[in-house]
């Protein structure tokens, strides 16, 4: 399969000024590429992206090299290349490394396509049988050796025909199809008492997280509350400037003593649409938002006073994290909903 260089270059958005490229602020980059400032910071944290600090300037800025690297990340993510694999590619940007990773992903996609093709053919055969014999029972269709064998025998390893060149529009459309969520759960979070650690400033997740870690370790919370849960959310959310805040909650018993700057709060709980992601895939907040907007049964139910309009991130599994000091690997994105 050949790659049209004009197609690739049309995707590369070079931000130019009157002279040479100037340093671009994090908020400008966020708006230009539709990537949250939080994701930009996360890319930096895991070593995929670098930013600079101008003298006498508080905000992060990016140069041309970083912008081009961000464009590569965005394109590779649309091609379903994981952040871990992108890190390997950036660390070893030789052709063999890239080919090995792309080949591995291609094989996985081919296996998935073959499996889906099998399901499609068998379902089609069942539909045909039901249309021909409208009075045929479900049991007869599903458990008849004759029908099943006929469906299996009709399977073919036909190849899907692709044009050799695809535009970025095609890639965007494919990405839209692949990002429609099908695994959203509706869950109820019970009311509870929580301890809050909150920080506004540079790297608020890290600062608030260390405050919470210190508290949990000091009281050995996982030993006295094995069902503890941990939530987090932006407070306040980024709004064009680099400074924002993050707040962590950990569930506790009502009688536990708390020392400032931590604060004890009541969480009212409620109904939430939940979608599980790997740490770093925070762009999938948009996918969950789209799911709620398109739901025929549920609608968004804004809840305050905590930030993000009631949306939360539950870090899974809090007990293991605090007991073994292992990093969180999965997060539930939680959007408050109510029945229409």
| Local structure of residue 310 (DSSP, 8 states) | G
Looking up residue 55, the CATH number of its domain turns out to be: 1.10.1660.10
61, 139: one domain: no
* Amino acid 244: pLDDT: 83
> Tokens 């924002």 label which residue?
244
Residue with more model confidence, 106 or 8: 106
Look at the alpha carbons of 284, 162, 110, 79 in this order and tell me if their dihedral is positive or negative.
negative
Q: Nearest-5° angle of CA 226, CA 232, CA 235?
A: 150
Residue 303 has pLDDT above 70, yes or no: yes
305, 208: one domain: yes
Q: Strands of 60-62's sheet, edge to edge? A: 24-25, 60-62, 52-53
pLDDT tens per residue across span 117-167: 777 877 777 777 777 766 666 666 555 555 555 555 555 444 444 444 456
Indicate the pTM of the whole model: 0.72
* Amino acid 150: pLDDT: 59
240, 310: one domain: yes
The count of other CB atoms within 10 Å of the CB of residue 304 is 8
Nearest-angstrom CA–CA distance, 153 and 258: 67
Looking up residue 226, the CATH number of its domain turns out to be: 3.20.80.10
The count of other CB atoms within 10 Å of the CB of residue 118 is 15
Residue 269 has pLDDT above 50, yes or no: yes
* Residue 281, H or E segment: none
* Amino acid 105: pLDDT: 92
pLDDT tens per residue across span 186-215: 999 999 999 999 999 888 888 999 999 999
Q: Domain range spanning residue 140?
A: 95-178
pLDDT tens per residue across span 216-255: 999 999 888 889 999 999 988 876 666 788 999 999 998 8
Read off φ and ψ for residue 157, nearest 5 degrees. -95, 50
Confidence of residue 2 (pLDDT cuts 50, 70, 90): very low
* Amino acid 10: pLDDT: 34
Read off φ and ψ for residue 55, nearest 5 degrees. -60, 135
* Amino acid 298: pLDDT: 96
Choose one of 150, 178, 206: the last residue of a domain.
178
154, 266: one domain: no
Choose one of 73, 91, 109: the last residue of a domain.
91
């Amino acid at each position: 399969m050949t790659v049209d260089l004009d197609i690739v270059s049309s995707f590369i958005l070079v931000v130019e000024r009157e002279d040479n490229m100037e340093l671009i602020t994090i908020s400008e980059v966020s708006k230009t590429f539709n990537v949250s400032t939080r994701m930009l910071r996360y890319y930096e944290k895991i070593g995929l992206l670098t930013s600079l600090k101008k003298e006498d300037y508080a905000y992060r800025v990016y140069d041309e090299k970083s912008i081009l690297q961000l464009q590569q990340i965005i394109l590779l993510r649309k091609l379903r290349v994981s952040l871990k694999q992108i890190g390997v590619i950036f660390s070893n940007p030789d052709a063999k490394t890239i080919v090995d990773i792309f080949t591995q992903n291609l094989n996985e996609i081919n296996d998935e396509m073959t499996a889906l093709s099998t399901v499609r053919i068998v379902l089609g055969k069942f539909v045909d049988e039901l249309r021909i014999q409208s009075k045929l029972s479900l049991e007869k269709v599903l458990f008849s050796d004759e029908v099943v064998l006929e469906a299996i025998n009709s399977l073919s390893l036909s190849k899907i025909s692709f044009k050799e060149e695809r535009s970025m529009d095609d890639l965007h459309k494919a990405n839209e199809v692949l990002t429609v969520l099908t695994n959203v759960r509706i869950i109820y979070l019970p009311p509870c008492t929580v301890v809050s650690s909150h920080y506004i400033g540079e790297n608020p997740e890290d600062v608030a997280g260390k405050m919470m870690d210190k508290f949990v370790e000091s009281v050995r919370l996982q030993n006295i509350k094995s069902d503890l849960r941990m939530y987090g959310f932006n407070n306040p959310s980024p709004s064009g400037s680099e400074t924002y805040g993050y707040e962590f909650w950990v569930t506790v018993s009502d009688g536990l003593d708390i020392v400032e700057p931590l604060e004890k709060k009541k969480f009212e709980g409620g109904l939430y649409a939940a979608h599980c992601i790997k740490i770093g895939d925070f762009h999938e907040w948009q996918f969950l938002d789209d799911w709620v907007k398109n739901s025929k049964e549920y609608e968004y139910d804004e809840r305050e006073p905590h930030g993000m309009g009631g949306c939360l991130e539950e870090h899974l599994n809090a007990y293991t994290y605090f007991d073994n000091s292992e990093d969180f690997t999965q997060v539930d994105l939680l959007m408050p909903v109510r029945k229409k």
